[in-house]
Structure 1
Amino acid sequence: MIGRIYHVGLTVSDLDRSVAFYRDILGLAFQGEIFMEGKETDKMFRKSNCKARVAYLNGSKAIETPPVELIQFVDSEIHPHLLEVEQTAESRMRQTMQELLMKNPAPNKEQHQMEWVQHMNSLKAQAEELVMNELIYS
């Protein structure tokens, strides 16, 4: 059994779009971005002439989550199936969050900030569970 997840690393096809999703939709806090290349990068990713853009995000006051690392390989081709799964998962998360919010409206954020945060965290967890079961675990 997994006790705790300390870090999540994901390969993405469009780093800017993915950062926007994790920051704007899921509420993670953007920490920064680096560009990686050279022998150590080749060794780390087991690819020759590897170049990667890497963005780092953390939880925020609104959401507790392990650090998330988003990796976009530059001039490398991601396996088409993985790209399709990523795009489908992002789309389903947005759609599922909207559906859950329609069924379970959030409290007024300005008047009840903590209740709003708890509500949104709960909906996000439900949406992740639904999407993961639908796309990843099936």
Structure 2
Amino acid sequence: MKKVLDWTVRLIAVAILTPAFYFKLSGADRSIATFSALDAEPFGRYVVGFAEMAVVFLLLIPQTSWLGAMIAGVIMIGAIGSHISVLGFQGGAGVSFILAFVVFACCIVEIYASKDRNPIFTKMFSNKG
């Protein structure tokens, strides 16, 4: 059951992040408008787009899924914060906020589900004294 949950949350995050990074890197009007509103166009859009692309690959590899979840979690905190402080929740921005929140929740679950593969956690919580 743990393995099913592990793969499910990873695939949900990948399914949301794949079009997100594609639209950012291809220069979709909505992505440009979002990052313009954040005063981070084009540099911020490219950085976030490439980071999301890297996260997708990291999430698909079981040995690195913990790292992908941690990086994606940080990106989603930024996205959620951007909606709260600048972008708002109306129309497409509201959908983006909900999707960012779903990815964030998936990341939290994946960080827990992959704790045995995470060298930071295994070292931190090992019983070696």
- Same fold per TM (> 0.5)? no
Structure-1-length-normalised TM-score: 0.28
Higher helix share: 2
User: Larger Rg: 1 or 2?
Assistant: 1
